[in-house]
Amino acid sequence: MSRQSVFSSDIAMQADEKIAEDAVRFINRAMDGLVPTPAGTAQVGERIQLAAKTSVARILKRREEVAGQQFGPIERVLGDRQFVDYSSTRTTLDDLIDEYSSVATPEADRIVAQAKAMRGRLTGQHTLGQFQRQRSYFGRASQGQGTVFDDIDRTVNQRVAKRLYAAMSDDLDTSASRLAGNAGAGIVPANYFQGQVQAPGIAAALREANANYRRYSQLADGLRAHPVARLFGKDVQVDGEDWFNTLAPEQVVTRLGSMAPTEIRMVRQYMEGADPEAWQQYKRLLVQNALDAAQTLPASAGPRQVAFNAGTFLRTLGGDKPARLAQLRELYSAEEMSQIDDAFKVARRLGDRFGSNPSGTGPYMEVQSFLASVKQRSVEALASTGGEALGLRKIANVMLNADGRRALIELSKLPPQSRQAASLAGFLAGVIAGKQAVYPDVRDGHQRQDGSGDQGRQ
């Protein structure tokens, strides 16, 4: 009624504006606590996508670095000695030939013909250097950076390369075992490092290097199954150069918002290691978008409106949806979530339109009825002393007081004859009269601990 009456709407508006300004200041402080430099949706999406896309490349680069450190000394010792047999790789090629021989398409015919030609070249035994170069090529082809067979679909090529690549790792383990047996005596010099490392030792080193190589490959494959892989998109190349990505940066942000809480946790853990600043900017972006939406009011709202729609802020960020709150708890740290929760509380207080009557029908009678129901002479006098205008302006002034506003809202929810209602009514009378009063604890009808005795009710 105070908001609607010509006698008091200006003061009620001041109360709403004060809380709105406090809310916006608090939300801005919370955002600055996440990261001081804001970024737009496209910029945030691009940074997150870049961190996600380059992750596999970083793993594979590290794999080659470790391979150079571990395979290099072994290759220098073995030199041009031939001991690697492609038995598992030939078996895989046989499987491909059998699989595609029964497919009556020109592409299948090309696969069969080229698989037979490759099988013919991978007979006999080969040096470790030759093997490593062949396996590295298959590894790149499995990532789409080369082709195993000509004039074959790119996806099929990648799938074939992955199968051959796995078979080659098995071949190296088998060949390493040969070094540890009698056959190894003719491959590794007997006086290698003056007798300190014999054939069994170099075989163990070779198996360890191969295990590490395989482990990095599995890590790269595992990352492709990680939720962060949904943010990769596909790079479209023209003349061998990246031209554009099929997933727009804005869609990266959209996909993050649609993930399940456990998926968000996994992406958060990854991003905190890959690009923590980009992740902080994403968290700030969500709050900023909610604040921008809350401060964008339609023209139909009229000229006298608080420049912050609390309901819009809650809905946009997700404070009114349990499923979205579960996502936010995985997205933000416990301390950050505490700040978000506080922002929600401020927005809910501002959004509580207690006493409002949008239809404009009989608001005065509604408030009069409410005040009379409290059965407190001091509050009843408020509605009559000095007439309607004075009473409404006093109510509006109470709304400017944080505890007074809170007391009005709480009072509307309590049974009129309860001790808690009487305590709140007495407290309001003190606020109206300009007296110091302790806010009563309405949970049990007694004073809260920072008060003394029954001062609030008195």
Q: Kindly tell me if the per-residue pLDDT of 457 is higher than 70.
A: no
**How much is the pLDDT for 55?**
78
Listed in sequence order, the DSSP H helices in 232-275 are 249-257, 261-274
Reported confidence tier of residue 445, pLDDT bands at 50, 70, 90? very low
Reported confidence tier of residue 6, pLDDT bands at 50, 70, 90? low
- Angstrom distance (rounded) from CA 409 to CA 402: 11
Are the CB atoms for 48 and 231 separated by under 8 Å? yes
260-265, Cβ contacts within 8 angstroms, sequence gap of 24 or more = 260/327, 261/326, 261/327, 261/329, 261/330, 262/330, 263/227, 264/227, 264/327, 264/330, 264/331, 265/330
Least confident span in 101-115, 145-159, 219-233 = 219-233
Residue type, 404: G
Q: Kindly tell me if the per-residue pLDDT of 429 is higher than 90.
A: no
Mean pLDDT of 357-383: 49
In a 10 Å sphere around its CB, with 0-12 CB exposed, 13-18 middle and 19+ buried, how is residue 213 labelled?
Answer: buried
Reported confidence tier of residue 385, pLDDT bands at 50, 70, 90? very low
**How much is the pLDDT for 195?**
40
Spatial CB neighbours of 297, under 8 Å, sequence gap ≥ 6: 305, 307, 309
**How much is the pLDDT for 32?**
92
- Angstrom distance (rounded) from CA 138 to CA 92: 13
Tell which wins on pLDDT, 16 or 111: 111
Are the CB atoms for 210 and 176 separated by under 8 Å? yes
Q: Kindly tell me if the per-residue pLDDT of 383 is higher than 70.
A: no
The one-character DSSP state at 342 is: H
Unique residue bearing structure tokens 């390493």? 176
Tell which wins on pLDDT, 199 or 399: 399
Least confident span in 15-24, 90-99, 368-377, 449-458 = 449-458
- Angstrom distance (rounded) from CA 321 to CA 281: 23
What are the residue ranges spanned by the domains of the chain? 9-43+253-351, 54-228, 363-447
pLDDT tens-place string over residues 257-283: 999 999 999 899 888 988 999 999 999
C-alpha triplet 273, 269, 52: angle, nearest 5°: 65
Residue type, 316: T
Mean pLDDT of 249-262: 90
**How much is the pLDDT for 455?**
35
pLDDT tens-place string over residues 153-168: 988 998 999 999 999 9
User: And the tokens for 275?
Assistant: 């690009």
Helices 276-294 and 261-274 cross at an angle (nearest 10°) of 130
Spatial CB neighbours of 302, under 8 Å, sequence gap ≥ 6: none
pLDDT tens-place string over residues 190-217: 444 334 444 457 778 888 889 988 888 8
Distances in whole angstroms, Cα of residue 192 to Cα of each of 80, 188, 441: 15, 7, 85
For 448, the 3-state DSSP assignment is coil
DSSP 377-444: HHHHHHHHTTHHHHHHHHHHHHHHSHHHHHHHHHHTTS-TTSHHHHHHHHHHHHHHTT---PPEETTT
Most distant CA pair in the chain, distance: 114
Closest listed residue to residue 30, CA positions, set 309, 340, 314: 340
| 227-251 CB burial, b ≥16 within 10 A, e <16 | bbbbbbbeeeeeeeeeeebebbbeb
- Angstrom distance (rounded) from CA 165 to CA 97: 17
* Element holding 325 (H helix, E strand): helix 322-331
